[in-house]
Amino acid sequence: MKYEHPPLKAAAKKIKKTDFGDGFTWGVSSSALQTEGACDADGKGPSIWDVFSKEKKKILNNDSPAVACNFYGQYKEDIALLKKLNIPNYRFSISWSRILPNGTGQVNQKGLDFYHKVIDACIGAGIEPWVTLYHWDLPAALQEQGGWTNRKIIGWFEEYVRVCVNAYKGKVKCWMVLNEPMVFTGAGYFLGVHAPGKKGLSNFLPAIHHAVMCQSGGARIIRQLQPDAQIGTTYSCSYVTPQTDSKRDKEAAKRIDALLNRMFIEPALGLGYPMETIPFLKRLQKYMKPGDEEKMIFDFDFIGIQNYTREVVSYTFYIPYLQAKLVPADKRKVFRTAMNWEVYPEAIYEMIKKFGHYKKVKKVIVTENGASFPDLLEDNAVNDTERINFLGSYLEQVLKAKQEGHKVEGYFVWSLTDNFEWAEGYHQRFGLIYVDFATQQRTVKKSGYWYRDFLK
């Protein structure tokens, strides 16, 4: 496969940090489950991914997050690398089951202490910690009670948020409530390809509604406990286009856009679920109680968007509920990453515009953008020119959006290190830093040095 997109080659050289102005936020992102390892160390309880990965053929190569990048043991080294690479902001998540091993009840002090050490190491290095409260690793004990399909999760989540904010509010200014709720509900509770491996509308619909309730309920608790906090939440988003100009393809694309890009942001803004575009969402009313529509609303300080690609959609009679299907990048013979995601820099510009056009959205921060390529470690170096070209080309589009007056005010690369990439295991590499998972040796890639010099 040829990965490099010829028009990308010059982009990384043309763009400069100063083009974005002094107030623009720069950083990198990671998550607990994908990096920490230490899956049962110091009182941590199992998460749904710890359980899911033990089932054969669920994860590529039967990989497991049990060790991952050993961030739990090597966080000082990784934060020192952040400083070495001039990265001023670090977005990471807290493991719910490290703090509350059973999901509720007894707090694990050693878990609390670990994140104190991570946060203190960041602050000591002059790096601002940005904390995501939920990045897909639900405590397994809560999944045994239905997980996101059980309305009790609203109370469970609020208890967890309260513990975290009370512990770290003196040190953490920037909080994100949920990471990509469309993905953890869709892949985990409808398609079954992510933990906990549930399928069907009877799982998907309650999971959607309870996640929407938690994104606002968790945010209200942060505001109550830390009034001066910067509070956001993050959404996966893809620029959606029809395969042809036919009416059927255009209508199919609207349905996919509503599912992928509107499902969670619009309830928070008081616009409700996009039921008119996707009629089967009317079944959500079964799970809604009086007062829920008001409780779904929260005035976020920022919205995090996470964009990697675009999706091309065609009509099909055979897919229930949506009558729409995605046309994979390889079938379209377009330039793509190792994840089979089309390299389409204009997608991030379109998503910044789309989310920024909502009147109640105050500012947009790109909280993830990056690419997986088949990186090779040769002579103690990784010459990942494709990733540099990718990042530079997408940043050109971020700059275009900013210069046109759209509300974008920050950009975080996914990710700091190669890590456990969910169902893809260790096969896909997104990092600015190469990890040899057998030895846990870190090697800064050429893209890491490029980002360092860009941020100087």
Burial of 48 (0-12, 13-18, 19+ CB in 10 A): buried
| 368 given a catalytic annotation | yes
CB 446 within 8 A of CB 384: yes
DSSP structure class, residue 200: S
| 36 given a catalytic annotation | no
Burial of 72 (0-12, 13-18, 19+ CB in 10 A): buried
Q: What sign does the dihedral 271-259-373-420 (CA atoms) show? A: positive
Identity at 19, one-letter amino acid code: D
- Nearest Cα neighbor of 216 from 157, 169, 260 is 157
Catalytic residue among 36, 311, 368, 386: 368
> What ranges in 23-105 are assigned the alpha helix state H?
32-35, 48-52, 71-84, 96-99
First to last CA, the chain: 34
Burial of 438 (0-12, 13-18, 19+ CB in 10 A): exposed
- Tell me how far apart the alpha carbons of residues 1 and 271 are, in angstroms, rounded to a whole number: 43
CB 80 within 8 A of CB 127: no
- Nearest Cα neighbor of 3 from 310, 372, 396, 268 is 372
Catalytic residue among 36, 180, 350, 421: 180
- Annotated catalytic residues are 180, 368
